Every structure is written in structure tokens, then in C-alpha cells.
């Protein structure tokens, strides 16, 4: 408070030139002046709207002073708002200087300063302006409160927000104002008080689609799509934004089918769409992982004028989607066709190459990016490091890791350490990986230990696995995957006593294995298979096809990997379990019913087991088919008997 006042009093305030008339000094008929003034104000505001650099605004300001207009609150308010729009930090000297030249700021100018602090400054600065304003005896208007609530919302100070809320009720009527009410709801929601937001909403005398949208988004973000949908159904006037909020809500809550249904209803309602809508739809298609949807949404994007070529947001999302749908070529075509590329486009493409096992392309693209203006961020490094680790490029990875902070100013996060532990671990350097996990400068989270545990599975090291698992059981006591993994590692080392003690632990915690399933895309749509299921209508044909395939593979030297079964049962039973793995059923189904010669795309919800991996390798050779399996980690491309992951996963 003190500081600000002092700063204000020492700021040089230019004297107005006496040759220019003051706005309140009529020496021609008053109405005439009013008229001229309105035209002039309008002109300046049009000019300000077109300003897109700080320098432009400064020039306009100089003319405003030069023409003796620095007392026009309306013009100065617009000027301050333009500065805020341009991202000028508040309250730095320049906006303050502009502000202080006005001897008697009107409430709207004060509010513009408060709003500026809310967006480009801090809550405390905003409050200083409010307090100063009240001290000077200026009464608040509704805009004052919407600016203050915005400040509390971005400062996440719900207590102050609540106090001001109480004041507005006392002062009278401001909460009833639509804008104030909406900003107040937004403030409570930003601070995480959904109930309070809902209460304001319920008590508002007047609401508009903005009020509804705010709440719908809040419910969606809290994972409660039912409440969001209930509200949405009650809303009579639905605009593009609120439809988009629903589509995006479903997509963000892993309900891609519902997202697409909602999008179809939106189109049926004749509402337009924009790039934000498309982002939600694209994300839903990426989750479905099916080329059919991927191509469909790409066409819609192009027809709507928000295609990848023009729109960098849509383009980046499409890159990600196509690589998640297994079509790396389509992803790269999108990337190449983009007029503008930013760090999202590059990172998505690098990540796409990495999960498809194309490490050289990922690293090549990274270097290509460095020749442009685009700077890598932490996500970019996750991509290149992952590429290195999946390809066993230890030295490359180490070098990149070493440069990220030094040259690119990206501080390694736990995620980057996860990549490094993964890199060392996959390469068989389990002791080094363990040491890194234990000595890294930030706290290791589940990901780091999970990477180590995964490496212990590849390199069959139950002892280090035990260390990693003990950390994991503490950090993520309910993550079933960790118990299953440790149990698998013990099983393949033949340590059945340890297997049963892990089992016991799982039972005690009441954890149950996730049912494994796979789905495969054919021209008729998706077909889903659960492990061990026999109820499929075509089961007998599938079983027969699988047996034929097995015989052909065994002729060529394939032997079932019974170690992949972590049940201590007889070999025959192990064999039966192996042959009922869901991806094998899906493969047999695709061989029977997919177009002959087409690429077979299988997706599954958990990690592919070693036996299935070897089986797919063999199958790709004897059938001559390109088989892509997406597990929960990455993509495996099986062709001519080998997988491009190099048995590294």
C-alpha cells in the first residue's frame, strides 16, 4: 500500500499543454464538443484495437497526450486494456504512468487496472488498486467486482474472494449482475469449491450460457460427467462453446464413444465448430485408436477450414492421433504438410517416432528442429530420450540428457530420470540404473522405480526387482501392475515361494488382476477379445485357425514360452493358458476375417507377454502379414519374423 502510494507521488506527471482545450472547458457549444469528442474517442479506440505491439500503444499514447486527451478516462481505460491484452506485466512503470496522468480516474479505469493486475500481475497488486480507489472516494461498479473476483480466481485466494463476495452483498446488488455472478462462480470453481460455485449459480436471478458452461466444465473436470450431462440437458440455448465443453469433457474422462456421439448431436443441431471442438474430437479418436475414425475426423477438419495445413493446433493433435492409431505414415504426412510448426508439432512427431520404435527418425527430427526457431521443451526431451532407450542407444541418450539443462535450459524432471533409468535398465546396466534411481537429485516417483522393475523383467533379475518393488509398494500400494510384474519376474526365475507371497500380498490388499483384453479392427468395426474367452460366436473357427497357425510355427522352431505363465501349474495347463491370450485370439480372428494382405492392427490394454511377442514374430513370417500390436507401452511392428522393438520392451 505504502509503496504504491509513494511510487505514485514521485512519478512525473506531464503537464497538459495550455494551448489545448480541456474536455470540460467548453468554448464552443457544449453539444458540439461532445459530438467531436465521441468521434475522436471512437477513432482512437479503433486504432487501439489494431495495435499488436507495445510500441504501437506507446505511439498512440504519445498522440493522446500531444492532443491533450490524457484526461479521457474512456480512452485511457481502453489503452490499459490493450496493454493487458498484449501481456504487459502489471503494474510495471508504463501502465502506472499512463494511469497516473489521469487526475480523476473513473471507476472503469480503476477496474481496468485491477483487471490488468489479475491477468498480468498479482492478487496483492490488484487489491492495492482497489484499496486506493476506495480511499480516493471512488465508488465501485460491477466491473470492479468482476475484476476483483478474477484476481482472486487467478491468485487462488478463496478466503479473500469470500470476503469480497460478502461485501458485494452488503454494498448491494452487485452479485445480481450477470457478469459479476459469472466471475464469482469462476472464482469458486478455480479455487476448487464446486459446491460454492453451484450455490451462486442456483441463487443467481439471471443466468446465461456462460454460467452454465462454467459449471458444466467444472463437473467434467471433476470427473462427474453425469452431473455435467444433467446440466447440459436442462440448458435450452446451447452454443458452440458449451457443446465443445461436453465433447471435450467426455474425451478427457476417457469416454471417447460418448464424445463422438455428443459431437454428432452437436453437428445435428446445426452448431458450427472450431479448432477447440476439433481438439476434443481428435483426442477421442486417438483414444479409440482406429484408423476409421482417424480418417473421418481428418476429413471433417479439412472441410471445416481448420485443417492441419492452416491450423497448428489441429495439426499437432492429428499427428498425435495418427501415431496412436498406428499410422505413422499419416502422422508424418500431416507433419510435413503443416505451414507452421511449433514445439507441440515437433514433440508429437518425435514422440510418435519413439513409440513406433523409429529412434533414428526421432533423433533426426530433433536435430532438424534445432535448425529452426523452435526450442525444445521438457516434453520434447521425454520423446528423444524414450527413443534412445527403446533403441538401446545409451551414449546418445546420456549425451542428450547432459545437454538439456546446459544448452536448452530445461531442468530434468522425474520423468526425464525415468527415461534415463529405463535407458540404462533396458541396456542391461541394472546396477547403474539402480544407483541413478537412488542418487537422483529429485525424489524418485513411481515411474522411476517402475522403469527399473520393467528392466528387471527383461534381464531376469529378481533381486533388484525386489528393491524396486518395495519402493513401488510404498508409493503406489494399489497399483496392481507392480505386483503382477514382480510375480512374473519371480515366476520366470522359478521362485514359486516368492510368487505365492506376492499373491498373498495382493489378496490382503484386495487387489484383483485387471482382465486382459485385445481388440482388432476389421472392416466391420472393432472386435474385442478377453483372455480365455470361449463364448465368441466364431470361437470354433478361431480355435481351429489358431491351432493351424501354432502347428506351422512349431514346424519352424517356435516353442511356447511357458515361463510367461506365472501360475505354478502343469505344462499342459500353461500351454492352454498361453494359447488363450487375448491377442492371439484377435490375431486368429483377423487372419480369418480381415482383408487378405492388409496390415493387422491389434491393441491391448496391458503389456504384451514374451510368448505372444515371439508368437507374433513367427506369425508375421509364416503369413507374410504386417502385424502391429499396440500394448499399453508402445507399438510393436512385426514383419518377416522380427519386431522393430528388437525384443526390447
Partner DNA sequence: CTAGGGTTAG
Question: Minimal distance in Å, beta carbon 13 to DNA?
Answer: 28
Q: What is the per-residue DSSP string for 180-227? A: HHHHHHHHHHHTT-HHHHHHHHHH-SS--HHHHHHHHHHHHHTT-HHH
Please report whether residue 451 would count as binding DNA according to CB under 7 A. yes
Please report whether residue 432 would count as binding DNA according to CB under 7 A. no
Alpha carbons 503 and 489: distance in angstroms, whole number: 13
Cis before 141 (ω within 30):
no
Of 379, 467, 480, 592, which one interacts with DNA (CB under 7 A)? 379
Q: Where in 13-52 is the site for DNA (CB under 7 A)?
A: none
Contacts 24+ apart (CB under 8 A), 226-233: none
Closer residue to DNA in complex, CB, 325/585: 325
Closer residue to DNA in complex, CB, 357/618: 357
Contacts of 242 (CB under 8 A, 6+ apart): 209, 212, 213, 216, 232, 235
Q: Where in 282-301 is the site for DNA (CB under 7 A)?
A: 283
Q: How far is CA 364 from CA 332, 422, 426, 645, in A?
A: 13, 21, 22, 18
Q: What is the per-residue DSSP string for 37-73? A: HHHHHHHHHHHHHH--SHHHHHHHHHHHHHTT-TT-H
Closer residue to DNA in complex, CB, 390/625: 390
The alpha carbon torsion through 237, 238, 241, 242 (nearest 10 deg) reads 110
Q: Which helix (H) or strand (E) holds 464?
A: helix 462-475
Q: Where in 464-483 is the site for DNA (CB under 7 A)?
A: 472, 476, 479, 482
Please report whether residue 589 would count as binding DNA according to CB under 7 A. no
Burial label, 596 (beta-carbon count in 10 A; 0-12, 13-18, 19+): exposed
Contact 637, 356 (CB under 8 A): yes
Question: Minimal distance in Å, beta carbon 382 to DNA?
Answer: 5
Question: Minimal distance in Å, beta carbon 315 to DNA?
Answer: 7
Question: Minimal distance in Å, beta carbon 210 to DNA?
Answer: 4
Count of positions on this chain that bind DNA (CB under 7 A): 71
Please report whether residue 631 would count as binding DNA according to CB under 7 A. no
Question: Minimal distance in Å, beta carbon 499 to DNA?
Answer: 20
Please report whether residue 101 would count as binding DNA according to CB under 7 A. no
Selected range binding DNA among 68-76, 161-169, 180-188, 518-526, rule: CB under 7 A: 180-188
Q: How far is CA 582 from CA 71, 80, 192, 519, in A?
A: 76, 63, 42, 8
Closer residue to DNA in complex, CB, 101/345: 345
Q: 3-class SS at 411?
A: coil
Q: How far is CA 75 from the centre of its chain?
A: 39
Please report whether residue 449 would count as binding DNA according to CB under 7 A. yes
Closer residue to DNA in complex, CB, 242/577: 242
Contact 471, 449 (CB under 8 A): yes
Closer residue to DNA in complex, CB, 97/414: 414
Q: Where in 339-358 is the site for DNA (CB under 7 A)?
A: 342-345, 347-348, 351
Selected range binding DNA among 5-13, 48-56, 214-222, 501-509, rule: CB under 7 A: 214-222
Of 176, 178, 467, 622, which one interacts with DNA (CB under 7 A)? 178
Q: Which of 366, 325, 361 is nearest to 346 (CA)?
A: 366
Please name the residue that has the C-alpha cell 452431473: 227
Alpha carbons 478 and 464: distance in angstroms, whole number: 21
Selected range binding DNA among 122-130, 207-215, 529-537, 538-546, rule: CB under 7 A: 207-215
Question: Minimal distance in Å, beta carbon 135 to DNA?
Answer: 22
Q: How many Cα atoms occupy the beta-carbon half-sphere of 255 within 13 Å?
A: 17
The alpha carbon torsion through 255, 261, 265, 271 (nearest 10 deg) reads 60
Q: Where in 254-283 is the site for DNA (CB under 7 A)?
A: 273-277, 279-280, 283
Selected range binding DNA among 24-32, 168-176, 202-210, 487-495, rule: CB under 7 A: 202-210
Question: Minimal distance in Å, beta carbon 153 to DNA?
Answer: 8
* Sheet (strand 517-522) strand order: 525-530, 517-522, 600-604, 627-630, 635-639, 642-643
* Bridge-based pairing state of the strands 642-643 and 627-630: unpaired
Question: Minimal distance in Å, beta carbon 283 to DNA?
Answer: 7
User: For the chain, what percentages of helix, strand and coil (3-state, to nearest 5) are there?
Assistant: 65, 5, 30
Of 377, 522, 599, 605, which one interacts with DNA (CB under 7 A)? 377
Residue 105 DSSP one-character state: -
Question: Minimal distance in Å, beta carbon 163 to DNA?
Answer: 20
Q: Where in 316-335 is the site for DNA (CB under 7 A)?
A: 316-317, 320
Of 68, 392, 446, 532, which one interacts with DNA (CB under 7 A)? 446
Q: Where in 394-423 is the site for DNA (CB under 7 A)?
A: 413-416, 418-419, 422
Alpha carbons 437 and 451: distance in angstroms, whole number: 10
Selected range binding DNA among 123-131, 155-163, 378-386, 393-401, rule: CB under 7 A: 378-386
Cell numbers describing residue 331: 502422422
Question: Minimal distance in Å, beta carbon 132 to DNA?
Answer: 20
Please report whether residue 518 would count as binding DNA according to CB under 7 A. no
Contacts with DNA, 78-97, as mask; x by CB under 7 A: --------------------
Of 244, 287, 461, 623, which one interacts with DNA (CB under 7 A)? 244
Question: Minimal distance in Å, beta carbon 456 to DNA?
Answer: 10
Of 240, 467, 493, 530, which one interacts with DNA (CB under 7 A)? 240
Of 447, 462, 560, 618, which one interacts with DNA (CB under 7 A)? 447
Amino acid at each position: 500500500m505504502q509503496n504504491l502510494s509513494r511510487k505514485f507521488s514521485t512519478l512525473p506527471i506531464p503537464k497538459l499543454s495550455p494551448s489545448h482545450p480541456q474536455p470540460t472547458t467548453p468554448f464552443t457549444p457544449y453539444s458540439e464538443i461532445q459530438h467531436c469528442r465521441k468521434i475522436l474517442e471512437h477513432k482512437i479506440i479503433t486504432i487501439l484495437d489494431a495495435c499488436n505491439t507495445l510500441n504501437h500503444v506507446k505511439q498512440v499514447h504519445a498522440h493522446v497526450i500531444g492532443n491533450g486527451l490524457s484526461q479521457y478516462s474512456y480512452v485511457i481505460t481502453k489503452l490499459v486494456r490493450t496493454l493487458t491484452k498484449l501481456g504487459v506485466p502489471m503494474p510495471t512503470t508504463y501502465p502506472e504512468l499512463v494511469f497516473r496522468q489521469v487526475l480523476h480516474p473513473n471507476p472503469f479505469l480503476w477496474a481496468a487496472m485491477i483487471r490488468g493486475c489479475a491477468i498480468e500481475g498479482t492478487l496483492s497488486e490488484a487489491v492495492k488498486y482497489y484499496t486506493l480507489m476506495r480511499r480516493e472516494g471512488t465508488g465501485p461498479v460491477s466491473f470492479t467486482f468482476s475484476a476483483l473476483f478474477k484476481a482472486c480466481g487467478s491468485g487462488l485466494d478463496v478466503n479473500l474472494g469470500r470476503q469480497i463476495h460478502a461485501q458485494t452483498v452488503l454494498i448491494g446488488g452487485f452479485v445480481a449482475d450477470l457478469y459479476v455472478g459469472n466471475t464469482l462462480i469462476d472464482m469458486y470453481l478455480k479455487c476448487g469449491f464446486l459446491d460454492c460455485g453451484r450455490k451462486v449459480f442456483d441463487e443467481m436471478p439471471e443466468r446465461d450460457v456462460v454460467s452454465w458452461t462454467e459449471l458444466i466444465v467444472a463437473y467434467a473436470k471433476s470427473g462427474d460427467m453425469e452431473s455435467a450431462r444433467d446440466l447440459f440437458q436442462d440448458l435450452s440455448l446451447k452454443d458452440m462453446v458449451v457443446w465443445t465443453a461436453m465433447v471435450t469433457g467426455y474425451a478427457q474422462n476417457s469416454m471417447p464413444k460418448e464424445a463422438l456421439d455428443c459431437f454428432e448431436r452437436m453437428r445435428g443441431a446445426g452448431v458450427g465448430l472450431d479448432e477447440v471442438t476439433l481438439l476434443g474430437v481428435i483426442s477421442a479418436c486417438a483414444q479409440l485408436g482406429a484408423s476409421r475414425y482417424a480418417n473421418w475426423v481428418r476429413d471433417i477438419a479439412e472441410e471445416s477450414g481448420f485443417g492441419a495445413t492452416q491450423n497448428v493446433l489441429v495439426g499437432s493433435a492429428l499427428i498425435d492421433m495418427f501415431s496412436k492409431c498406428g499410422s505413422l505414415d499419416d502422422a508424418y504426412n500431416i507433419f510435413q504438410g503443416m505451414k507452421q510448426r511449433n514445439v507441440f508439432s515437433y514433440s508429437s512427431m518425435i514422440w510418435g517416432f519413439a513409440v513406433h520404435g523409429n529412434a533414428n527418425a526421432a533423433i533426426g527430427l530433433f536435430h532438424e528442429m534445432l535448425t529452426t526457431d523452435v526450442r525444445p521443451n521438457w516434453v520434447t526431451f521425454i520423446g528423444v530420450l524414450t527413443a534412445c532407450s527403446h533403441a538401446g542407444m545409451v551414449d546418445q541418450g546420456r549425451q542428450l540428457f547432459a545437454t538439456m539443462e546446459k544448452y536448452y535450459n530445461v531442468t530434468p524432471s522425474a520423468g526425464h530420470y525415468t527415461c534415463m533409468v529405463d535407458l540404462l535398465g533396458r541396456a542391461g546396466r541394472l546396477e547403474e540404473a539402480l544407483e541413478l534411481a537412488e542418487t537422483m537429485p529429485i525424489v524418485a516417483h513411481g515411474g522411476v522405480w517402475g522403469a527399473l522393475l520393467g528392466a528387471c523383467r527383461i534381464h531376469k533379475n529378481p533381486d533388484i526387482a525386489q528393491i524396486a518393488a518395495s519402493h513401488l509398494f510404498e508409493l503406489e500400494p494399489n497399483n496392481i501392475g507392480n505386483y503382477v510384474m514382480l510375480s512374473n519376474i519371480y515366476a520366470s526365475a522359478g521362485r514359486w515361494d516368492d510368487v505365492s507371497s506376492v499373491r498373498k500380498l495382493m489378496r490382503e490388499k484386495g487387489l484383483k488382476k485387471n482382465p486382459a483384453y485385445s481388440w482388432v479392427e476389421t472392416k466391420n468395426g472393432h472386435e474385442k477379445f478377453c483372455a480365455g474367452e470361449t463364448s465368441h460366436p466364431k470361437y470354433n473357427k478361431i480355435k481351429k485357425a489358431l491351432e493351424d497357425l501354432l502347428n506351422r510355427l512349431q514346424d519352424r522352431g517356435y516353442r511356447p514360452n511357458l515361463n510367461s505363465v506365472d501360475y505354478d501349474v502343469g505344462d499342459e495347463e500353461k500351454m492352454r493358458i498361453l494359447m488363450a491370450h487375448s491377442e492371439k485370439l484377435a490375431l486368429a480372428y483377423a487372419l480369418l476375417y480381415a482383408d487378405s494382405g492388409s496390415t493387422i492392427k491389434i491393441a491391448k490394454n496391458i503389456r504384451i507377454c514374451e510368448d505372444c511377442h515371439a508368437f507374433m514374430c513367427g506369425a508375421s513370417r509364416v503369413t507374410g502379414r504386417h502385424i502391429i500390436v499396440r500394448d499399453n507401452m508402445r507399438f510393436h511392428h512385426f514383419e518377416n519374423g522380427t519386431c522393430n522393438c528388437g525384443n526390447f520392451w
